Amino acid sequence: MGENPFTPSFGEVPLHLAGRAETIRLFQRAFDSGNRRPELTTIFSGARGTGKTALMAYLADCADRSGWIAVRTTALPGMMEDIEIQLRRKAAHLLGDQAKVSIGSIGIPDLLSVEVRQTAPASSNWRSRMEDMLDQLSASDTGVVMVVDEVDPSLDEMVQTAAVYQQFVVDKRKVALLMAGLPHNVSSLITNKTVSFLRRANQIHLGPIDDFEIERALSRTMADGHRSVDPRGLSVAADAIAGFPYMLQLVGYHAWEEASGEVVGIEGFQNAIEISRREMNSRVFAATLAELSASDVLFLRAMLVDEGDSAIADVCERLQWSSSQVAQYRRRLMDAGVIGRRARGVVGFELPFFREYLQERFEDEGL
């Protein structure tokens, strides 16, 4: 028996990325093109577990294979230094010695070297050091892709990185910037005035993936693990997965573990779904709920009254809130990736089974 081929973790590139073929094709084309294509400045947004990190990691590998140098970081203090250090390392074979040796260490007579050292800080900053490297890399037509995960609009370095990147683009340097974050972080980053150019960047929202794609990724990954699937089990699984990548990995992982023979049957999938739902509750839903405010939760509770989607007018009446207050929380919850617009004045739950999770939680709390 081989190893379980599923990756129910975070950020790990799965063996088969469901539903991303078209996106990957466009990026591949952008990395291979001699012209600057819009994909080179992209912001991905999506709720927890929608596959932002995995997709960016995959695209970074595509870029590397197409002769770019991709550096991946997370929006945290120190991210600029991290980008610089990683680039210096990954591009070492293409960079001349002057990029590695600091000015103060060049063997010049002592007196002079003191002077050089004193003036060094003023003549070098992040932008200039990056430009030096980009200059050297341009000799071999090597571009640099900066990949920033978990974008945080309140982090100065995040805004600075984007602003300097814009300068690089204006200067016609071969650079790309891929960013990803939760919808509300992405939308507040792009409203920051310093980096208003990001509003015109390529934006990709990662929503639910088609069942057909889910089934295909599931059966292909099973096949990689030397197992085949009962087609009825596959469709039961797709229903439970509801287009959510993390759930696909959970269900696949447990179904693979459940199977005793070569074929994963319908029962194996049913057991796997049950285990996976519990894990979704503790790993995704509890974290999502903890990020919401008390009023956000009141809004969601008012939505639970409906069987399916909710009319905003009904939510308004149930809560006895003003329409502007309801509009404000509707926006917040949409930005958090919890609800989505279904039609004019109609919203529904966006995260699959978050609704059921909330119902259970409220029942447990006797609300």
Ligand X SMILES: Nc1ncnc2c1ncn2[C@@H]1O[C@H](COP(=O)(O)OP(=O)(O)OP(=O)(O)O)[C@@H](O)[C@H]1O
In the complex, the residues that contact ligand X under the rule CB under 6 A are 7-12, 14, 17-20, 46, 48-54, 217, 245-246, 248-249
Say which entry of Mg ion, ligand X, none residue 248 contacts (CB below 5 to 8 A, set by partner kind).
ligand X
Nearer to ligand X, 143 or 153 (CB): 153
Query: Taking CB under 5 A as the rule, does residue 45 contact Mg ion?
Result: no
At its nearest, how many Å lie between ligand X and the CB of residue 67?
25
Nearer to ligand X, 76 or 298 (CB): 76
**Segment near Mg ion (CB under 5 A), from 22-30, 47-55, 101-109, 118-126?**
47-55
Nearer to ligand X, 284 or 315 (CB): 284
Count Cβ atoms below 10 Å from residue 78 Cβ, excluding itself. Answer: 11
Please report, for residues 125, 136, 147, 190, 310, the alpha-carbon distance to residue 130 in angstroms, rounded to integers and kept in the order given: 8, 10, 15, 24, 50
Checking 286-293 for CB contacts under 8 A at 24+ apart, the result is: 287/48, 288/47, 288/48, 288/336, 288/338, 288/351, 288/354, 289/357, 289/358, 289/361, 291/336, 292/333, 292/336, 292/338, 293/332
Say which entry of ligand X, Mg ion, none residue 245 contacts (CB below 5 to 8 A, set by partner kind).
ligand X
At its nearest, how many Å lie between ligand X and the CB of residue 8?
5
At its nearest, how many Å lie between ligand X and the CB of residue 218?
9
Count Cβ atoms below 10 Å from residue 351 Cβ, excluding itself. Answer: 24
Say which entry of ligand X, Mg ion, none residue 249 contacts (CB below 5 to 8 A, set by partner kind).
ligand X
At its nearest, how many Å lie between Mg ion and the CB of residue 105?
39
Nearer to Mg ion, 243 or 245 (CB): 245
At its nearest, how many Å lie between ligand X and the CB of residue 244?
8
Q: How far apart are CA 270 and CA 231, in angstroms?
A: 13
* DSSP class of 209: P
At its nearest, how many Å lie between ligand X and the CB of residue 317?
34
At its nearest, how many Å lie between ligand X and the CB of residue 97?
38
At its nearest, how many Å lie between Mg ion and the CB of residue 360?
26
CA neighbours within 13 Å on the CB side: how many for 255?
36
Say which entry of Mg ion, ligand X, none residue 17 contacts (CB below 5 to 8 A, set by partner kind).
ligand X
* DSSP class of 7: -
Q: How far is C-alpha 20 from the chain's CA centre?
A: 13
Query: Taking CB under 5 A as the rule, does residue 50 contact Mg ion?
Result: no
Count Cβ atoms below 10 Å from residue 319 Cβ, excluding itself. Answer: 16
* CB-based closest residue to ligand X: 51
Task: Quickly list H helices, 98-230.
Answer: 110-123, 126-138, 156-170, 183-190, 211-224
Nearer to ligand X, 30 or 351 (CB): 351
Q: Which of 42, 53, 276, 310 binds Mg ion (CB under 5 A)?
A: 53
Query: Among residues 144, 161, 147, which one has the least CA distance to residue 55?
Result: 147
Nearer to ligand X, 248 or 326 (CB): 248
Instruction: Using CB under 5 A, count the residues that bind Mg ion.
Output: 1
Q: 106: burial class by Cβ within 10 Å (0-12, 13-18, 19+)?
A: exposed
What DSSP element (H or E) covers 294?
Answer: helix 294-304
Say which entry of Mg ion, ligand X, none residue 227 contacts (CB below 5 to 8 A, set by partner kind).
none
**Segment near Mg ion (CB under 5 A), from 45-53, 211-219, 229-237, 300-308?**
45-53
Query: Taking CB under 5 A as the rule, does residue 185 contact Mg ion?
Result: no
Beta bridge partner(s), residue 146? 71, 177
User: Is residue 212 within 8 Å of 245, Cβ to Cβ?
Assistant: no
